[in-house]
Amino acid sequence: MSTTDAARPQPRLELAIGGMTCASCAARVEKKLNRLEGVEATVNYATEKATVFAPIGYDPALLVAQVESAGYTAELPTPPTPGRAESAGAGHTGDHELAALRTRLIVSAALGLPVVLLSMIPALQFPGWQWVALVLATPVVAWGAWPFHRAAAVNLRHGAATMDTLVSLGVSAAFVWSVYALLFGGAAAHGMSGADLYLEVAAGVTVFVLAGRYLEKRSKRQAGAALRALLESGAKEASVLRPAPGSDDLREVRIPVDRMVVGDVFVVRPGERIATDGIVTEGTSAVDAAMLTGESVPVEVAPGAAVAGGTINAGGRLVVRATRVGAETTLAQIARLVEDAQSGKAAAQRLADRISAVFVPVVIGIAVVTLIAWLLLGFPAEAAFTAAVAVLIIACPCALGLATPTALLVGTGRGAQLGILITGPEVLEATRRVDTILLDKTGTVTTGRMALVGITGDSDEPGGDDETATAEALRRAGAVEDASEHPIARAIADAAKREGALPPVTGFRSDGGLGVTGTVDGERVVVGRAAFVTAAGMPLGAGLQRAVAEAESSGRTAVVVGWGDRARAVLAVADTVAPRSAEAVRRLRRLGLDPVLLTGDNETVARRVAQEVGIDTAIAGVLPEEKAEVVRRLQAEGRRVAMVGDGVNDAAALASADLGIAMGTGTDAAIQAADLTLVHGDLTAAADAIRLSRRTLATIHGNLFWAFAYNLAALPLAAFGLLNPMIAGAAMAFSSVFVVSNSLRLRSFRPLAATGSTAHATEERRTA
């Protein structure tokens, strides 16, 4: 896990950047911000945001002024809060910009297409067609390409050059040359050929680049759709219970969610979204949490159960007490984590950014050299001009700038839909390198809840081990234990309740750590350790003694229940292995990872759990503060270590590991220390998280490869006159669209549970 966050200046600020049209723009804004003393900034072209770390007390107005001095706009955006109207407003603004760009593209295409056809198909040419082409091309070059001219002028005023500079130069040069040829060069008198005219280049390039920008912007909005849907999925209003005027009776009052405070009690009817995070105080129901966890099966809730804002009440009426509101809710924190991940950059992208920052001046230089070289070699001016314009048009740093952010947008957004939160691009690099995965036992491999796993009656007594006798033992033990809050007591009581109603208990008494006693059906019942029951005058027969020994040797807790003159049964209680842990271990192995069980329990328990889920190596008896030391020891052996945990005692190990994975059912400390968070706490999601991370990283690398390959191949072709400028414009637009479209394929990522079993091994091997 990266440790750079701790060294960064604080606090963190976010700026919404306006006016960026390519990766060079983003690089320029980033460079400007980083010139400020004590400021560290990262600008993301795809999300159009700058993430800034500045000293405490730093005036944000200075940051805005610095961005504006570069020719762009900046403002502090509203923090992501589920259900807020601002979320929708931002979406409407994007839709408006997209619609305006679409209109500009349609009009330019309608005017530009006849110019291209007249120029390239001799059969369509008629006397004076050049003037018609000029009339049609003029609004395309002046109005259609105006965004490029305006951006180029702004950049020129600030002594910079971007992709818009290349487009504006290319289009303007082609148009001005054509006008000169018509008015002063005699092109109109050349009959039907129009050999000296480049009006089709000026119009065609404008249309193709506009088409590329439109498809790019639309794809970027699709890439961010998952986060927008997440933000907008929260409830807008809540039915809060408030005292009626002049009365102690409570009545329901509808208020906006952003006016709720911690402690508010609110009502959720069937079909409604739960307004905010809270604890159920009344009612039972099934809650659909698919939008948070990706799980399609609703979760049963009852009084005392925690529920998350934004989830849907699918059953009965619930009354909930708010525990977290606003930006502190689970949904808001997930949105914040996803946004954080999308604002980062992979190591490979930083190299691409450095290249993009100097790319445009280099291309302009290549175009000038190309023009001069062709003229010196004796080629006609028209041919030299064509090659130089093609060089200007073909260059496209946009594809380099979009390679990482679009893949991150789609990958992290898809992960959020599936309950997998990726905190940043550095995590993607880590998932590729890890070879060992430490699995904390309690709450990760196991459920973290004690449960009754077996009952053994006294076989030395007639009928003592039959079903009726063991059922009666569970009934009486459950009745006495129901008055205790101890986890082992709750496991026994809950198991007894599932079999039927519990009898009343009188004279309850607890001897801390030893056992409990009480009177049930007129008889004194003792439940606890074997020694405690024996000391109460209820000896264990040989069969029960064997049952105690067997339970303890297998790492279970043996609880003895007795009444009358002897012990009647042994109840075996244990923290049970989660249902899908064994499958999760198999999947992790297929991804090339060596699973290791890590636990503070004794060797016997560790060995039993490890054997049950198929883990070969178990490290037992580890104290909380020693878990991080285990991680460091394995790293010292040359291993790349991932750690999966859920508790406060796992936080240090999660932070020390090369890749920290937190179970979303765990503590906030563990989640904040981790690189990946599994919202619904299913260990099989760890394998899916690694698969998705590796797939996203592979997409980034693929995007960067094709972006580099495109420029390396296209520039020489253009310089040697092998590319028509109009075709170059189409190819330039295609490269950006290709990168974004390739990233959008991540939306089809599916958890392995959703695919056929035959596909599992093939898919996992391919991902590994």
Catalytic residue ranges = 440
Rounded Cα distance, 277 and 292, in Å? 12
What is the C-alpha R_g of the chain?
34
C-alpha distances (whole Å) from 40 to each of 26, 57, 196 are 14, 15, 51
Instruction: Tell me which H or E stretch contains 700.
Output: helix 684-719
- The residue behind tokens 């023009």 is 371
Q: Are 517 and 527 in contact (CB under 8 A)?
A: yes
Q: Give the contacts of 658 (CB within 8 A, at least 6 positions apart).
A: 1, 430, 433, 434, 635, 640, 641, 642
- The residue behind tokens 């934004």 is 310
Dmax over Cα atoms in the chain, in whole Å?
Answer: 123
Interior angle at CA 152, CA 149 and CA 153, nearest 5: 85
Q: Give the contacts of 24 (CB within 8 A, at least 6 positions apart).
A: 161, 162, 163, 356, 357, 359, 360, 397, 401
Q: What are phi and psi of 181, to 5 degrees?
A: -65, -40
Beta-strand runs (E) in 305-402: 306-307, 312-313, 318-324
- The residue behind tokens 């699918």 is 314
Q: What 3-state DSSP class applies to 659?
A: strand
- The residue behind tokens 């016997």 is 604
**CA dihedral in degrees (619, 623, 625, 631; nearest 10)?**
0
Sequence letter at residue 43:
V
The strands making up 73-75's β-sheet, listed across from edge to edge, are 40-44, 49-53, 12-18, 73-75
Tokens of 696: 């996203």
Q: What 3-state DSSP class applies to 94?
A: helix
- The residue behind tokens 């100097």 is 358
Sequence letter at residue 186:
G
Q: Cis omega (within 30 of 0) on the bond before 504?
A: no
Q: Are 622 and 645 in contact (CB under 8 A)?
A: no
Pairing between β-strand 318-324 and β-strand 594-598 as defined by DSSP bridges: unpaired
DSSP string, 290-305: HHHH---SPEEE-TT-
Q: Are 621 and 602 in contact (CB under 8 A)?
A: yes
Q: What are phi and psi of 282, to 5 degrees?
A: -145, 145
Percentages helix, strand, coil for the chain (3-state, rounded to 5) are: 55, 20, 25
Q: What 3-state DSSP class applies to 559?
A: strand
Q: What's CA 699's distance to the chain center, in Å?
A: 15
DSSP string, 711-750: HHHHHHHHHTT-S-HHHHHHHHHHHHHHHHHHHHGGGG--
Q: Are 417 and 751 in contact (CB under 8 A)?
A: no
